Amino acid sequence: MNNISIRVRKIADKNMRISKRRVKMMLGENFRELRTARGMALKDVAKGVASVATVSKFENGVTDLAAGKVTALLKNMGVSFREFASLSDQSTGHAGSFLFKAVAAYRNDDQPQMREIVLEQMDQYHKTRSEIDFNDMMSAAGLYCDISGEILVSDKDLAQLMEKLRTISEWNENEIILFGNAMTLLPDNHIFMFARDLLAHLDQIKSWNMSLYRDGWSAVLNAVDTLMQHEVSYCPVLLRLCNAEEVPITISIILFRRRFLTLCYNELTEPSAANRQKIIDLLAILQFNGSTKLWGRYRRSTLNLVGNIFEDDEAK
C-alpha cells in the first residue's frame, strides 16, 4: 500500500470517528431537548433504568446507551422511540432536512419556496415510490395548498392519500403528521370523518404517549379550523365533539386553542361586540406572557376566520 493510499485510509477512519462522535452528540442533544421541554429532572427520567450520571453522560455525548435502555428512558418521559428516532433522523430532524425546510417556508408564507419543495418531493417520490417519500410529498403539498389554494399532486395521488387514511387501524406519529399536514387536500367530508376517528382514539393514545396525544389534538383542531374557513356544516359537529372531551390542564395550549376556535365560531354564527372582546382578551394573554410569535399567529388566524376585529391597523 503506497503512502497516498495509507493517508486516504487514515483520513477516512478519522472522518468516520468524527461522524460517530457527531451522531452521539446529536442523540444526546435531542434527548436533552425532549427532557427539558417536558420539565423533567434527570433523576425522574433515569428512575429504574440507569444512574443519573450515566444519563447525563449520554446527553453530553460522552457515552452510548443500548436501544433498550433508551426506550425505557423515553417511556419515563412519555415519548415513543419512533418519535425520538424521527427527531434524530438526518432526513427529518435537523435544520437542513426536508421537513424543517417545508415547515419554515410554510410559516414564512413563502409560496415560491414551498412550491419548489413540493415539486422536488414529487420527483423524488415518482422515482422511489417509497411510503416515506409519499408521506413527505403529500405533507408538503398540503402545506402549500393551505397558503396558496393550489393542488399540485395528481388525482391518483389524492385517491391514494384518502385510501391510506381510510384504512388506518392505529393512529401513530406518521399517520397523525400526514393527516395534520395534508388535510387541506381532502374533501370536507373526509376531513370530518378522519378527524372524528382520530378524536375517538385520543384517550387511547394518551395512555401511552402524551406527546403524541398533544399532536393528535393539534391535528383535530387543525381540522376544525379548516372546516370553519370552508363554512361547512361539519364544523359545529366536530367542534361540539371536541368540547365534550376532557383535556388535561397541563396541555394548556390545546385548551387555549379549543377556546379560541369556539369563540371564533360563536362570532361567525352570532356576531356580537361582547364575543369579539372575548377573543381580543384571550389573545392578550399571549401578549402578557411575552409569546409574541404565537400572538401574531393567532392574530392572523383571527383575521382568516372572522375578519378584522381589532381597533388598530396593525393586523395583516
Cell 422511540 belongs to residue: 81
| Contact in structure between 114 and 140 (CB atoms under 8 Å) | yes
In a domain, 43, yes or no: yes
In a domain, 10, yes or no: yes
Question: In the structure, what pLDDT confidence band is assigned to residue 312 with cuts at 50, 70 and 90?
Answer: low
CA atoms within 13 A on the CB side of 46: 15
111-152: pLDDT as tens digits: 999 999 999 999 999 999 988 889 989 999 999 999 999 999
CATH number of the CATH domain containing 76: 1.10.260.40
In a domain, 1, yes or no: yes
As for how many domains the chain has, the answer is: 1
User: Is 250 or 46 the better-scoring residue by pLDDT?
Assistant: 46
Q: Which of 123, 184, 194, 187 is nearest to 164 (CA)?
A: 194
Calculate mean pLDDT across residues 303-308. 91
In a domain, 42, yes or no: yes
In a domain, 45, yes or no: yes
Residues 6 or more apart whose Cβ sits within 8 Å of residue 187? none
d(CA 159, CA 213): 27
In a domain, 259, yes or no: no
In a domain, 121, yes or no: no
In a domain, 44, yes or no: yes
Domain extent for 10 = 1-88
Q: Which of 173, 118, 169, 171 is nearest to 145 (CA)?
A: 118
